Amino acid sequence: MTAYDLTEILRNLLSLPAESELVEFKEAKTTFDSDKLGEYFSALSNEANLKSAQEAWLVFGVNNAQEVVGTAFRADPIKLQSLTKEIADHCTNRLTFRGIHELTHEGKRVILFEIPPATAGYPTAWKGHHYGRDGESLGPLNTDERHRIEGRFQQQLGFERGIAYANASISHILELLDWQKYFALCEFPEPTDAQEIVVRLASIKAVVRADGQLHITNLGAVLFARDLRLFEHLAYKPYPHHTL
């Protein structure tokens, strides 16, 4: 995003009548608790899914009156961007920020955390706990909301095309799936290009692309997982042996 785009987003957020299930403002003058940040990520991600929103926003450097006060939180850009990994390490399917954007507004530093919606079928958990919001309040995701997120994708596509591992990078796909086995079974020559491998896996629905991200399907995991224990929703379920 350009500086102009970010400024327009911030102005639109500041013009809202109040915080909501999709927008949270924090002063975060110098520090912010890392666990609380993860809880807000979980909650805002789940609410974005429930409201069919493209993203939710956590904004540092803005007080409860929606006045820009500035923030010195993680002023080092490298330490700030390292939050992407810190969140992924403890969230469902390594979901993390879509972007961490810094901008200067009225001479003051503001951070916009762009949070993706929970993957359909999989509520976003932080350290094993699911969070949601009731208006401006942070709390546990209630049972009805959790079931709504869990049920959407599976009802539409069935088990095989359900997501076993969301937002997977190409390197993750090659690490998690025994693609060599697939090429050997089909008697295909092994390609040297990673993109070609993913295209082949996508052709049999072992991998799908949705919302601009790659996802490993239940079918792909059951057929080709190098270690099924790495797919938390499938790890303890018995499956018959499959061959292509």
For the segment 117-174, what is each residue's pLDDT rounded down to a tens digit? Answer: 998 778 999 999 999 998 888 999 999 999 888 876 555 556 777 888 888 899 999 9
Q: What percent of the chain has pLDDT over 90?
A: 67
Strand partners for 117: none
Q: Is the predicted pLDDT of residue 233 greater than 60, yes or no?
A: yes
Each residue of 140-155: b (16+ CB within 10 Å) or e? ebeeebbeebbebbbe
Q: Any idea which of 35-49, 147-161, 179-193 has the lowest mean pLDDT?
A: 147-161
Task: Check whether 231 has a pLDDT greater than 80.
Answer: yes
Residue 9 has pLDDT above 50, yes or no: yes
50, burial (CB in 10 Å: exposed 0-12, middle 13-18, buried 19+):
buried
Residue with more model confidence, 163 or 238 = 163
> How many angstroms separate the CA atoms of 50 and 83, rounded?
25
Phi, psi (degrees; rounded to nearest 5) at 91: -110, 155
Q: How many CB atoms lie within 10 A of CB 38?
A: 22
Q: Is the pLDDT of residue 184 over 80?
A: yes
Q: What are the CB-based long-range contacts (under 8 Å, 24+) for 153-162? A: 153/119, 153/120, 153/121, 154/121, 156/120, 159/218, 160/205, 160/217, 160/218, 160/219, 161/205, 161/208, 161/217, 161/218, 161/219, 162/121, 162/217, 162/218
At 31, is the pLDDT very low, low, confident or very high (cuts 50, 70, 90)?
Answer: very high
**Residue 49, pLDDT score:** 92
Ranked by mean pLDDT, which of 55-69, 150-164, 181-195, 206-220 comes out on top? 55-69
For residue 190, what pLDDT is reported?
87
CA dihedral 189, 191, 197, 200 (to 10 degrees): -40
Structure token pair of residue 48? 């974005």
Most confident of 104-113, 143-152, 177-186, 210-219: 104-113
Residue 237, both tokens: 């379920």
Would you state the pLDDT for residue 157? Answer: 56
- CA dist 57 and 114 (Å) reads 5
Residue 178's pLDDT is 94
CB 95 within 8 A of CB 118: yes
Which pair of tokens denotes residue 184?
A: 């050997």
For residues 31-39, average pLDDT: 97
- Give pLDDT, residue 122: 85
Which one has a higher pLDDT value, 57 or 228? 57
